[in-house]
Structure 1
Amino acid sequence: MSFEQEWAALRAESATRINSAGPGGAGGAGPAGEADLKTDPTGTAVAVRALEEVVQPGTRKAGAAADDTTGSTVREFTGWQTGTGLKDAHEEWGLGVKSLEARLANDKAALQGTAKDFGNYNQQLTGRWAALLPQGSASQ
């Protein structure tokens, strides 16, 4: 099979998946009709911890390492077009690092808010159900 044939087959397969509800049907139902909207507090906590302890510090460290080495190289090439080009490229790098750090901080905040948001939603939903139940009936 040529690359073009394989690529066409993969594109057709993905278009079919995009345009269908999938094997579980529509409506967010999982296997055997079970609801599949769930949270994983342990996994969320692990992801937040990884962002705090590994990813964010590593990003800062990589940015700082580039600052040190590029700064000294730019000084060595002062007066040359290479020095100017390196300086411009390094400024762009710095903007990229700042953008990545901001994105990681936003992702961490979103992960931290997920459990709280689901908990609040569950409380609101429980209150709404309680209002619909006849007086004196036990809720499950």
Structure 2
Amino acid sequence: MGFDEEWAQLRTEAAARQNPAMRLNQLAAPDGGGGGSADFGSDESKKKIASGKLGGEVKTQTETAAKKADEETAAAITAFSGWDTAAG
């Protein structure tokens, strides 16, 4: 048996082992399942809290992390000065 014939046989066997049908472990709940609230509205107070965290805490942490990366990059450039890799 040549490679092409063996390959075709293996592909056919693999396809036969696969089950393309979707199987659910349980039925959906009568109200649509998924849990949580069915209300897709938004809460202004929660949006303000999230916005405050993004503008304050998260922004500060991101700037601190970027500053540390810049410092370490500058240190690497200094350490490799005179080498071709310093520019990289």
Secondary structure class of the residue paired with 2:41: coil
- Given candidates 18, 32, 35, the residue that maps to 1:23 is 32
Q: Which has the higher contact order (CA 8 A, sep 6+)?
A: 1
**What aligned pairs does 1:45-84 form with structure 2 within 5 A after superposition?**
45-84=48-87
State the 1:81 CA deviation.
3.0
**What aligned pairs does 1:55-134 form with structure 2 within 5 A after superposition?**
55-85=58-88
Runs of 4+ in 1 over 2 A off after TM superposition: none
Count matched residues: 60
The alignment's C-alpha RMSD in Å is: 3.1
Normalised TM-score (structure 2): 0.52
Q: Computing the radius of gyration over CA atoms, which structure comes out larger, 1 or 2?
A: 2
- Which consecutive unaligned segments of at least 5 residues does structure 2 have? 1-17, 24-30
More helix by share: 1
Normalised TM-score (structure 1): 0.35
- Percent identity, please: 30
What CA distance in whole angstroms lies between the structure 2 residues aligned with 1:55 and 1:81? Answer: 37
CA offsets 1:23-79 (integer angstroms, 9 cap, x no match): 27xxxxx75xxxx33111121111111101211111111111111121122012012
